[in-house]
Amino acid sequence: EAGVAQSPRYKIIEKRQSVAFWCNPISGHATLYWYQQILGQGPKLLIQFQNNGVVDDSQLPKDRFSAERLKGVDSTLKIQPAKLEDSAVYLCASSLERGSREQYFGPGTRLTVT
Amino acid sequence: KQEVTQIPAALSVPEGENLVLNCSFTDSAIYNLQWFRQDPGKGLTSLLLIQSSQREQTSGRLNASLDKSSGRSTLYIAASQPGDSATYLCAVKGSSNTGKLIFGQGTTLQVKP
């Protein structure tokens, strides 16, 4: 079974530029999560999708971050414009359903904002 | 608001030593607690999950305990090996199975040959 795929793996941009990350969850998984992990901290949930609907985006900085999962499969997370404090690893995870015991994590995208 | 703290932030031990990683949480109304392993450049791998009604879980050389009333969990690693070197994260899920995971900051473990 293929795992959660993310691209790119690394990205370096200048502040005020925009960037987009892509996630392909495990086939058949209805729930998709985006986490932000700043160096030295644990992951923080940014947004959770159930199919193509948003379940929780309470910690998403909506003035600059946006995410979509139009067909209920792949998802993109965008930052526009980026700030220095957005430097982090962005992790995507998926689970069979919202209440599933297991979340399966992708390898992450490491973003550096200079 | 739930907060999860892990102590120590980093740990270095010689191979073969038994060790304990600590996790504490401020709100005892949790659904479950999970321990993850994170290797550099890779995602998180689930190690052990303890439901709120359970006291401990074991998998191979790993044993995790949960004391909900005191807001604490420990991860015990027996006979550590260099391959155990990684960052270990604990996370609690809120009061229902649809709650979000709240992570601690992790403990980075180095096991020296």
Residue pLDDT, tens place only, A36-76: 999 999 999 999 999 989 999 999 999 999 999 988 899 99
Q: What is the pLDDT of residue A100?
A: 79
Mutate to test the interface with A, among B50, B100, B107 (most CBs of A within 10 A): B100
Contacts within 8 Å (CB) and 24+ apart, A84-87: A84/A15, A84/A113, A84/A114, A85/A113, A86/A111, A86/A113, A87/A38, A87/A39, A87/A111, A87/A112, A87/A113
> With a cut of 50, which residues of chain B have pLDDT below it?
none
Q: Quick one: pLDDT at residue A70?
A: 82
Smallest Cβ–Cβ distance between A56 and the set B49, B96, B100 belongs to: B100
Those of residues 33-92 in A touching chain B at CB distance below 8 A are 40-45, 48, 56, 91
Substitution target in B101, B102, B107 with the highest count of A β-carbons within 10 Å is: B101
Q: What is the pLDDT of residues A18-30, one digit of tens each?
A: 999 999 999 999 9
Nearest to B105 among A9, A41, A48 (CB): A41
What pLDDT score was predicted for residue A1? Answer: 63
Q: How many angstroms separate the CA atoms of A34 and A47, rounded?
A: 5
Closest CA to A86 of A38, A20, A22: A38
Q: Do B41 and A44 touch (CB under 8 A)?
A: no
Kindly report the average pLDDT of chain A as a whole number.
Answer: 94
Per-residue pLDDT at B42: 84
